[in-house]
Amino acid sequence: MLEVFKKYDIEEVLPFAVDPLLPNELVKNKIRRSSEEFQNSVYRNYDGNKVKMASWRYQVFKKSLKCVNCGIEGEYFQLERHIGDKSFHFNLYAELDGKPVLMTKDHIVPVSKGGKDEINNFQTMCSTCNGEKRNSKDYSRSFTDQKPRIATKGNIETLWGGRKDSFRCYMCGYRFQVGDYWRWVYTNNVEGASGNPIVCNCCDGEDVVERWKKLVNEVGEKYWWFVRR
């Protein structure tokens, strides 16, 4: 069970995040956890609740509020705790069709494949896409593999970007049928692009990332897949 205290704006939280390594540094420098100095530099008071501000998640969300896969964007923080927990922590949420979607810190290279707990190996991903990534057979390849594929019934039944009936070409809106060619184009870290478009045979080509960037800028909507369809 989750106890929700209150919603907070992004600006009320992220600017106050501190270096996740700070607590250890302080302890190394013989500053006791119970000391005022330690408490004041690691925690922040939110309406009477002491919240630890040293966390990798906040640093990852500082880099980007958007899911690297579907482009959905975190809009607010919620101060919450599980029943039985002593203290509250912030979770970031996006909204899709009026429903909250939890945003997570994803390991680009999974820990199981030797990925490290460091900022360059973290990216923002919504819980829907993170679930898909976990469930995929080859965890490490799932989000970077751009080879052509043939649409399966499973592809069609998957919730892409958390939406039903959304397995379509992101360029032209074509709804894939079993047996169709499709390809996933990985655009992460390409300036001006967000999300990884799925393209059909006709829309695929050398310049797909460029066209995608243009399209996203033109549509100018967070939920571009919705606008295009």
Contact status: 96 vs Zn ion (CB under 5 A): no
Residue with Cβ nearer Zn ion (51 or 200): 200
Q: Which of 41, 69, 104, 187 binds Zn ion (CB under 5 A)?
A: 69
Residues 197-216 interacting with Zn ion (rule: CB under 5 A): 200, 203
Indicate the Cα dihedral angle 59, 210, 205, 172, nearest 10°.
Answer: 90
Which amino acid is present at 98? G
Rounded Cα gap, residues 49 and 77, in angstroms:
15
Which of residues 60, 70, 193, 208 is near Zn ion by CB under 5 A? 70
Nearest to 146 by CA among 186, 189, 203: 186
Q: What is the spatial distance between Cα 174 and Cα 143, in angstroms, rounded to a whole number?
A: 22
Helix (H) or strand (E) holding 63: helix 56-63
What gap in Å lies between CA 78 and CA 89, rounded to an integer?
8
Q: Are 80 and 4 in contact (CB under 8 A)?
A: yes
From 14, 60, 79, 171, residue interacting with Zn ion (rule: CB under 5 A): 171
Q: Is 17 an interacting residue with respect to Zn ion (CB under 5 A)?
A: no
Told to check if 172 binds Zn ion by CB under 5 A, we report: yes
Supply the minimum distance, in Å, between the C-beta of residue 126 and Zn ion.
3
Is 42 or 72 the residue whose CB approaches Zn ion more closely? 72
Nearer to Zn ion, 88 or 122 (CB): 122
User: What residues from 130 to 159 belong to the interface with Zn ion (CB under 5 A)?
Assistant: none
Task: Report DSSP state, residue 176.
Answer: P
Chain positions contacting Zn ion, by CB under 5 A:
67, 69-70, 126, 129, 169, 171-172, 174, 200, 203
